[in-house]
Amino acid sequence: MASAWQSVLSVHQRIVDNGDKRTDPWLLVYSPVPVALIFLVYLCVVWAGPRLMKHREPVDLKVVLIVYNFAMVGLSGYMFCEFLVTSWLSSYSLLCQPVDYSNSPLALRMARACWWFFFSKVIELSDTIFFILRKKDSQLTVLHIFHHGPLMFNWWAGIKYVPGGQSFFIGLINSFIHAVMYSYYGLAALGPHMQKYLWWKRYLTSLQLVQLILFLLHSGYNLFADCDFPDSMNLLVFTYCITLFVLFGNFYYQSYLRKKKQK
């Protein structure tokens, strides 16, 4: 038992020692343990939450949802601008961009943008809590949970080991998509009278699918290109995006194409 524990500690030490020393002091970055604990709590909430709410009335979160969703629009817009401006000023390449591990102002600015993107994935776990409190249990799908939980780990690895470089492309595109997505949720939270202006709901899933195709092309190209960026990270992104594409594609088919055929 003691030997197994020593092995765990040894692996943990290698994980924390091999990261980017610039980002180690930042919140939740140095060790994977805090993020793992957050994920375990998240899974417990997903399991226990609907059971605790079963015999309770849905919680009225209208004001909270309006503030939360439009705050996320602001955060997503900020991250998009940071990724765009910093990559532009740094003359980043869309095809092959190694990580700049220096302490130059632009390198640190990109690393901070990546940290905010990682931290936004922690904040977005709130989406699940709001579904549970409002008794929208049908929204707690495999797609929803798989999209929110493991993505947090992916971006913890990103900010820990590769805060910049090729990572900026995912942050740039996804921040834009989320600004659009949370705009929809914020408008929807204003009340039923907004529904006539939200005809573009189905296109949100289309945007998600388009971004996943872009990520697959981007990471797939860099798996075979001669680029000074870890293949392990490109492979992680590629594999995760394939899984998400299947889940989002199934959701789009079930929600729109199948219903259209039935009509």
End-to-end CA distance of the chain: 61
46, 130, 151 from 139: Cα distances, Å: 11, 10, 18
Instruction: Tell me the CA distances in angstroms from 191 to 69, 126, 227, 231, one per residue in order.
Output: 14, 20, 49, 46
Of these residues, 12, 55, 147, 178, which one is catalytic? 147
Q: How far apart are CA 211 and CA 112, in angstroms?
A: 23
Distances (CA, A) of 172 to 16, 18, 176: 27, 26, 7
Tell me if residue 124 falls in helix, strand or coil: coil
DSSP state of 94: S
The region that residue 230 occupies, defined by phi over 0 for left and psi between -120 and 50 for alpha, beta otherwise, is: beta
Q: Where does the chain have alpha helices with state H? A: 2-17, 33-53, 62-89, 105-123, 126-133, 142-161, 167-189, 202-224, 231-252, 258-262
Active site residue 148: no
Residues serving a catalytic function are 147
